[in-house]
Structure 1
Amino acid sequence: MKSIILLSLLFFNFNLSATATKIIVRAKAKDAKFVGSSLGGAYIIIRNKTDNSILAKGKTNGSTGNTDLIMRTPRERGKLISDAQTAQFLATIDIEEPTFIRIEVISPYNHKQAQSIVSTELWLIPGKDILGDGIILEIPGFIIDILKPRTHQYIALKDVQNKVFELKANVVMMCGCTINSGGIWDSENMEVTAILKKDGKHLKNVEMSITETNLFEGSIKLTSAGQYEIIIYAYNAKSGNTGVDKVNYVIYE
């Protein structure tokens, strides 16, 4: 009788023992490559959907991936688009039974004005690893950094009145991939425009053109003092990608 009880307890404990289960999560920019170390990574949070507890968290590490494999090779079912160097977050999670999880990706982690939170939910089964490409979450948009004028810059009217006032912005894909004229990410397919506002009212729109890799420029003429705001957006009609950055600056007499 004691032997039967002992065997029953061992069997019961065996069934309840946690099993280490691996899962790979990747963040991929829409119409581009993976978010890797060169951009500061994407931040991953894996939660137990039942109680919202965090099972794993960390950043993706590695390269943006193989350009030919991701962007030029026709996609076939079952064929990987990642390789050994491609950025990933690998989590090992101890679970006792099938667990419904929520995966959140915050990307790009180091560019708050362009940051998106993308999520998905799925069942994680004990001992049934999800490797290879893993779970890929798509990050839409562009990262835009206005370089000129600077945020809250004070500029004397006498220095700019009726002169060419330059606007500059750096625009990249959400993986950091470069934008060029005629390149894989072709600036000819992208509309980059500055919206100029003064004292809260719209003044004009200014089309911006690429002058070197990732750099878009335009110009305006300022005729009066006031509180100015520049909103620069990028838009690609083919991919649906959009991005925005804003700065405020002051022209004083």
Structure 2
Amino acid sequence: MKTLFLATALLFSSLMVSATETKVMIRAKAKDAKFIGSSLGGAHIIIRNKLNQRILAEGNTSGSTGNTDLIMKTPKVRGNSIADEQTGGFLATVDIDEPTFVTIEVISPLSNRQAQAAVSTEMWLIPGKNILGEGIILEIPGYIIDILKPRTHQYIGLNTIKNKPFLFQANIVMMCGCVIEKGGIWNSDEIEVKGILKKDGKFIKNIDLSWVSTNLFEGSDMINTAGNYELTLYAYHAKTGNTGVDKVNYVVFE
């Protein structure tokens, strides 16, 4: 029994020694925007062995959203990186003893479930062959939308809003947290923002929202009848195909 135990221990030890530390830089980048870093809570990264689904490394990106001029204004030239030392990323350390086919998954944003998307890729990792610098970049499409008015399941007395403009308000940012401004790099004039309003499950009308200040969009309409209301609000950018949605239910009572 003792001999068997020693043999097993030696075998395990040799396997551990043969495993080679391999570093991989993973970055998440918002489509048509910058990198996802600490300011947005990071993107979650998972590296799995494709064969058996064992997690080899896991963590969140951290760092800045990157250099705006370098990412958004400088023409991309082969061999030139759009990331610097401060740019958000996750440096994974993987121990492998042979070439391993892996799945790399990015989940972001972590704090905004209604906007959360998962993007993945597959590739071979070679023991001791680090992938650093710009690393592996996965792109996250969309917008983060938070409806501010009305609030979720808010009860509103009909007498307080009847025959008055009822305000709809939403905060909208890029998936990296980058700001949307009128005439800015992320130009509000190019983004269609609209609310689809239903009452008691039936479509009533579309509500147009327009930019009023940084990331803030507003629209208004008349609501003169009681009922259970549902507002589905979307943003759409035709040039890039970026989209985002948030939904809220509220009640207007007599």
Q: TM-score, normalised by structure 2?
A: 0.94
1:16: how far off?
6.8
User: Is 1:76 the counterpart of 2:77 in the alignment?
Assistant: yes
- CA distance in 1 between partners of 2:182 and 2:149 (Å): 21
What's the counterpart of residue 177 of structure 2? 176
Amino acid at match of 1:173: M
What's the counterpart of residue 119 of structure 2? 118
User: Is 1:24 the counterpart of 2:54 in the alignment?
Assistant: no
- CA distance in 2 between partners of 1:172 and 1:51 (Å): 38
Helix, strand or coil for the counterpart of 1:159?
helix
- CA distance in 2 between partners of 1:26 and 1:49 (Å): 20
What's the counterpart of residue 55 of structure 1? 56
Helix, strand or coil for the counterpart of 2:159?
helix
Amino acid at match of 1:191: E
Amino acid at match of 2:71: I
- CA distance in 2 between partners of 1:142 and 1:94 (Å): 36
- CA distance in 2 between partners of 1:105 and 1:224 (Å): 45
Q: Which runs of 4+ in 1 moved over 6 A?
A: none
Q: TM-score, normalised by structure 1?
A: 0.94
Amino acid at match of 1:47: R
User: Is 1:220 the counterpart of 2:221 in the alignment?
Assistant: yes
* Deviation by residue 1:178-236 (Cα, 9 ceiling, x = unmatched): 00000000011100001111000110001111000000000011111000001110000
- CA distance in 2 between partners of 1:69 and 1:155 (Å): 48
What's the counterpart of residue 93 of structure 1? 94
* Deviation by residue 1:124-176 (Cα, 9 ceiling, x = unmatched): 00000011111100000000000000000000111111111100000000000
**Aligned length in residues:** 243
Amino acid at match of 2:204: L
* Deviation by residue 1:78-112 (Cα, 9 ceiling, x = unmatched): 11000000000001111000000001100011110
Amino acid at match of 2:114: Q
1:14: how far off?
8.7
* Deviation by residue 1:58-81 (Cα, 9 ceiling, x = unmatched): 100000000000000000011100
Amino acid at match of 1:182: G
Aligned residue runs from structure 1 range 77-226, under 5 A: 77-226=78-227
What's the counterpart of residue 5 of structure 1? none
Q: Provide closer, same or farther for how the CA distance between residues 105 and 199 of structure 1 changes in structure 2, counting only shifts above 3 A.
A: same
Helix, strand or coil for the counterpart of 2:45?
strand
- CA distance in 1 between partners of 2:83 and 2:235 (Å): 28
